Amino acid sequence: MEHKNSDNSSAPATREVSSADHIGIPHEIVRTTKDLDILFRTYHDSHDMCYRHWHGDVEILYITGGCLHFTINNHRDTLRAGDLILVNSRFVHSTDGSPGNDSILLQIPADLMRRYLPDFDSSYYDFNTHLQEMHHQTHLAQVKATLEKMALLEELKPDGYLLRFHSLLFEFLYLVHHYFRIPLREAPAARSREELESISPVLDYTNTHYAEAISTADAAALTHLQTEYFCRKFRRLMGQTYLSYLNDVRMTHVYEDLIHTDGHLNVILERHGFTNYKLFRRLFREKFGCTPMELRKRGIEDKDSVFLKQEIYAGSSDPEAPDHDQK
């Protein structure tokens, strides 16, 4: 599915994210907001999925429509419209293919957090959206409203919008740090960067060579560890076996081709390293609850609805007053 990204030729800069910065995700070019080096994107009916990975950024995901299956530190949950989640630095997480969703994604590099929050490395943040206490819900509503204003600014880009966008970003950071920071002693433990980086050669190699035959012994050799010890370490850090991770990487690419292309299934499977069709069908049904062709049909139907949803934004000129009459 098409997703809508921030795109202003005069405003955003680009930042290359290598495997060292974004362990477990293929090398990518990220569009960032000028001078602040953040990633801000608005997705409409995205069918993208992402296998388990970690990074140093603080990541915020706000679901504004549909739903998304999200896993963080082996805890899987279904996020629905109105749900908000924050992923702290160095927490392993992933998204599964879903029926489609509208969402706002914000990633803030650790260096930016440290620049303005000196105690960032001793901080843990949790929106705890299930807490119904009135003041807590009020602050959550403020966070959501700020993200919505940022998204509308990125959509409309009025003259001088970066001034307002930057002020909203700092307002957002203040809200998160002031109202949603909890003591480390009450927080789940993050994996150490050193431990996670010790398996980065395996993740990097897998991202590049996933379509080839790779055994656990091959993967262990990249870390100079005995196979049995490597398997235990990988599962402890990533929350799944190496072969399961490898199949997830392959499945992600198969999923993307099913949604975004009209290629024949056999060709797609061969391209992305699935040689056992029975295994593929079992894994696919376990993950998505349907057949590949059913998923493709659903993706085509949702793609047609994207253009209708985008018309909602047409004609708007005042990002601070979204309820005005539209032409």
Could you give the number of structural domains in the chain? 2
The answer on 80 and 162 residing in a single domain is yes
Give the residues of the chain that fall short of pLDDT 50.
1-31, 306-327
Q: Where are the beta strands (DSSP E) in 10-168?
A: 13-17, 28-32, 39-46, 50-53, 58-72, 75-80, 84-87, 93-96, 101-108, 124-125
Question: Based on the domain organization, do 169 and 32 belong to the same domain?
Answer: yes
Is residue 210 domain-shared with residue 165, that is, in the same domain? no
CB 239 within 8 A of CB 52: yes
pLDDT value at residue 236: 92
Residue 100's domain is classified under what CATH number?
Answer: 2.60.120.10
Instruction: Tell me whether residue 303 is in a domain.
Output: no
Structural domain contains residue 301: no
Residue for token pair 């009450």: 186
| Burial tier of 16 (Cβ tally within 10 Å: 0-12, 13-18, 19+) | exposed
In a domain, 309, yes or no: no
Task: Read off the CATH number of the domain in which 211 is found.
Answer: 1.10.10.60
244 burial via Cβ count (<10 Å: 0-12, 13-18, 19+)? middle
Q: How many whole angstroms separate alpha carbon 227 and alpha carbon 239?
A: 17
Answer with the one of 137, 167, 189 that is the final residue of a domain: 189
Question: Is 96 among the domain residues?
Answer: yes
Q: How many residues does the chain have?
A: 327
**In a shared domain, residues 18 and 162:** yes
According to the model, what pLDDT value does residue 99 have? 67
Name residue 317's beta-bridge partners: none
Residue 148 in any domain: the answer is: yes
Give the SS3 label for residue 299: helix
Amino acid at 149: K
Is residue 271 assigned to a domain?
yes
- The last residue of one of the domains, among 143, 163, 189, is 189
Question: Which phi and psi (to 5°) does residue 3 adopt?
Answer: -125, 150
Shared domain check, 208 and 83: no
Report if residue 272 sits inside a domain.
Answer: yes
Is the CB of residue 214 less than 8 Å from the CB of residue 206?
yes
180 and 39 in a common domain: yes
The answer on 208 and 64 residing in a single domain is: no
Residue 93 lies in a domain: yes
For residues 126 and 180, the answer to whether their CB atoms sit within 8 Å is yes
Q: How far is residue 137's CA from residue 143's CA, in Å, rounded to a whole number?
A: 10
Q: Are residues 203 and 185 in the same domain?
A: no
Domain termination residue (choose one: 137, 156, 189): 189
Four-CA torsion 106, 110, 111, 112, nearest 10 degrees: 40
Task: Look up the domain containing 214 and give its range.
Answer: 199-289
| Same-domain status, 63 and 162 | yes
- Identify whether residues 60 and 24 lie together within a single domain: yes
Contact 82, 63 (CB under 8 A): yes
Residue type at position 25: I
Measured CA to CA, the distance from residue 274 to residue 60 in angstroms comes to 33
Instruction: State whether 214 and 103 are in the same domain.
Output: no
Regarding whether 210 and 181 lie in a shared domain, the answer is no
Give the per-residue pLDDT at 32: 56
Q: What is the CA radius of gyration of the chain?
A: 21
Q: How far is CA 214 from the centre of its chain?
A: 26
